[in-house]
Structure 1
């Protein structure tokens, strides 16, 4: 999954999964194809620094 072509719904789902302690980055990778670094990049771009 290319992070530049994600819909708002997909971005929200990825952030929600990453925010949950029970979802590992390995599971996110298997579901979305995004590495830990890719997920972190999306979260930094989309979330406020105070989040």
Structure 2
């Protein structure tokens, strides 16, 4: 993927993948070429502040329970 913003359909797909508890950052990178920091930026821009904070909290909680996660 190039440096410009993804189209709305791709953005929606990335957000859906990031919100899923079954998709890792590595899977998002493999499919869309975005690293964890880029996904976090996209999520911060796309979600409401409270939703973003809740997502990050959930990702951090899963990260301590699973060896390979976000």
Same fold, TM-score > 0.5, yes or no: yes
| Contact 1:3-1:38 at 8 Å conserved across structures | no
Match of 1:24 in 2: 24
Q: Partner of 2:22: helix, strand, or coil?
A: coil
* Bigger Rg, which one: 2
Q: Partner of 2:4: helix, strand, or coil?
A: helix
Query: CA 1:4–1:24 in structure 2 vs 1: closer, same or farther (change >3 Å)?
Result: same
TM-score, normalised to structure 2's length?
0.67
In structure 1, list runs of 5 or more residues that go unmatched: none
Aligned length: 51
| Contact 1:17-1:23 at 8 Å conserved across structures | yes
TM-score, normalised to structure 1's length?
0.89
Q: Partner of 1:4: helix, strand, or coil?
A: coil
Query: Considering only aligned residues, what root-mean-square deviation do their CA atoms show, in Å?
Result: 1.2
Shift of 1:3: 5.3
